Structure 1
């Protein structure tokens, strides 16, 4: 019979108290720590914001409540896009955010979340831990007095809701599209007018016609925003976010002050939250997509000419940015080398397996 955790902890405490280690040392190994976490995302996005809440829960459970992290949605402490700055100054201890929000500080940070025609979610994860991603991104973030740990991934996103149908690259000219970061810069090369708009303001902007299209994440979150009520064309894939990685960003001094075993708990809790978020999206997106279709949405793949033009524009932008930014060039070279190998393997195993299963859908 496997002993319960309570019995194990109780027996261990009794042994240590009567043995060579004094009981006070046990308490000292579990110091009381209280952090505040600000998120870049609103509470209404229960999968993304819920990932931050799950992370805090995992940390508390692993420390018997000694390490408490209080989570705050975007706007309660600071606006969502100021999360990194608030951690940098020490105004809050940590944040749940996406590093590509801060590509204006350094475009290299876009690689931390994902860039157009980059990795899918698993490839992004592999690049972070085994392809130099962690060293590259945290090397840049060190200039802002923070360090980061992966904590969530959306999987491949949708291309967004459009008020009009797209047939060719010419249809993008002058299109006011809610999209930011590197993806917005790529689309700007094709004539799009990128608009950076907070999630809560997307629906009214699309309804009024002040924007023509908007992308956010995927069916589950897009349904919550109600975009199907004002734009019926739903395009895929979101080639600018093939596997968007989110991060726990921690103030450097706060991180250094944590006991080593608390640092290990934070890393493992973030990894558990990362897996929870991806699994949750894989669970809730399919039924949400069915509901959107029932509400009248028209699914459309991006036309091949738009995909090809987007790829070409992305490579042009990357070359321009790499020419003046050594860290960006390092990240780009690393991504391209690993991506080339990954795609060969993916085509042989994953793609072949998934492709066959897709073809057999409905036969069983």
Structure 2
């Protein structure tokens, strides 16, 4: 065998052996998979499982995260009361009992009134404005600046749209009819209601029906027709008022333990952010899709639908403005968030009345006339 033929044969044999070896060897895992650790978190919700749209947002977040990480990052969901009571969810996150919560920040105004601005304040933003302020108006950065010293980080993760004014055991025609009422009402709305004679009560969702049935309270607000029907409030209080001027577009948030969130890989942080954003949009869509049908059913079953009088709205608006002036003087954090939201709201309503309001008003007229 000549030298040139030997070298060609050796090269061919070597290449074949190398190829065989490569085929026999297991394929290396993609670099991104190797970098993604297996993590299990726990999330405590402030809501019972019966409220499938609100509680379901947490499940949607967990499912999105699991799918986006091929099961590497899992979040276990617990309803209110299974780990901590619903109104202590954020505290459990801050102290590390759980890594995450799905809750309303205004449940924690006892710690600082600024918490209210993360959810809703009386005569505040509607749902579209709320999402715009958080996303494009600097709102969520301000909220997280406020939350950081408390070892918390938050992302919007739901909005119910404008809520109903609640269920009353007696008819409410004038501002005097509110005096002496015991009402389950959360956030700063309770302080405003107190100014007009109501005794506010903060009661977790799962306990409201019993309190109303037993007469421990005379009235309750909660969310809107879809949830209110599930909770059975029409059985124990027949007057159903609108609108909830205290919750024009209340946001729910995913609260994270700040240290735990910062320790996540950047890819997991982004996946969580995307999952929360999706849940935020999905919740509002679900309420918009279900509330009309539920409202018609409630009225058919005997609920008496009534608007708050203009007198009540005007007196409560004045009381709200007085409350904000007092809180701004006491809490720099509240003032900073409130001033930002107020400035945003003025421009937002300028635009809304030009386009959205004009269009919706015309279309509502067609609906009432039966011409749609």
Taking structure 2 as the reference length, the TM-score comes to 0.91
- 1:286 alignment partner in structure 2: 292
2:223 counterpart SS class: coil
Q: Distance in 2 between matches of 1:87 and 1:352?
A: 44
Equivalent of 2:53 in 42, 47, 51: 47
160, 172, 177: which one pairs with 1:171? 177
1:277-356 alignment, distance < 5 Å: 277-356=283-362
Q: Are residue 363 (structure 1) and residue 371 (structure 2) matched? A: yes
Deviation of 1:35 after TM superposition, in Å, equals 0.7
Does 1:142 pair with 2:142? no
Look up the match of 1:114.
120
Whole-angstrom distance in 2 between the partners of 1:257 and 1:308: 49
2:219 matched residue in structure 1: 213
Give the aligned length: 346
Q: 2:7 maps to what in 1?
A: none
Aligned counterparts of 2:81 and 2:317: Cα–Cα separation in 1:
35
Shift, 1:259, TM fit:
0.7
How large is the Cα RMSD of the aligned pairs? 1.4
3-state SS of paired residue (2:155): strand
Residue 181 of structure 1 deviates from its aligned partner by 1.8
| Counterpart contact for 1:42–1:73, Cα < 8 Å | yes
Q: Equivalent residue for 2:15?
A: none
1:29 Cα deviation after fit: 2.6
SS of match in other structure, 1:276: helix
1:297 Cα offset (Å): 0.6
Which whole-Å CA distance do the structure 2 matches of 1:51 and 1:91 have between them? 21
Task: Report what 1:273 is aligned to.
Answer: 279
Q: Say whether the 8 Å CA contact 2:121–2:187 is kept in structure 1.
A: no
**Deviation at residue 128 of structure 1 after TM alignment:** 1.1
- SS of 2:157's partner is strand
CA-to-partner distance for each residue in 1:179-223, whole Å, 9 max, x for gaps? 122000000000001011222222222222221111100001111
Deviation, 1:291, is 0.7
Are positions 1:242 and 2:248 aligned together?
yes
Between 97-106 and 200-209, the greater mean CA deviation after superposition? 200-209
| 2:235 counterpart (229, 232, 237) | 229
CA distance in structure 2 between the partners assigned to 1:316 and 1:129 by the alignment: 28
Aligned to 2:265: 259
Runs of 5+ unmatched residues, structure 1: 1-16
Partner of 1:203: 209
Report the secondary structure of 2:252's partner residue: strand
CA contact (8 A) 2:106 2:186 kept: no
In 1, the alpha carbon distance for the partners of 2:178 and 2:278 equals 40
TM-score (norm 1): 0.92
1:34 aligns with 2:40: yes
Please, which runs of 5 or more residues in structure 2 have no aligned partner?
Answer: 1-21
Q: Distance in 2 between matches of 1:318 and 1:55?
A: 34
Structure 1 match to 2:90: 84
User: Does the Cα contact within 8 Å between 1:136 and 1:327 map onto a contact in 2?
Assistant: no
Q: What CA distance in whole angstroms lies between the structure 1 residues aligned with 2:271 and 2:32?
A: 17
Q: Does structure 1 retain, via aligned residues, the 8 Å contact 2:241–2:306?
A: yes
1:152 alignment partner, one of 150, 158, 164: 158
Give yes or no for contact 1:228–1:297 (8 Å, CA) kept in 2.
yes
**Please, which of 62, 66, 74 is the counterpart of residue 68 of structure 1?**
74
Report the alpha carbon displacement of residue 66 of structure 1 after superposing the two structures with TM: 1.1
Asked if the contact 2:189–2:246 (Cα under 8 Å) also holds between the matched residues in 1, the reply is yes
Give me the whole-angstrom Cα distance separating, in 1, the residues matched to 2:69 and 2:336: 38
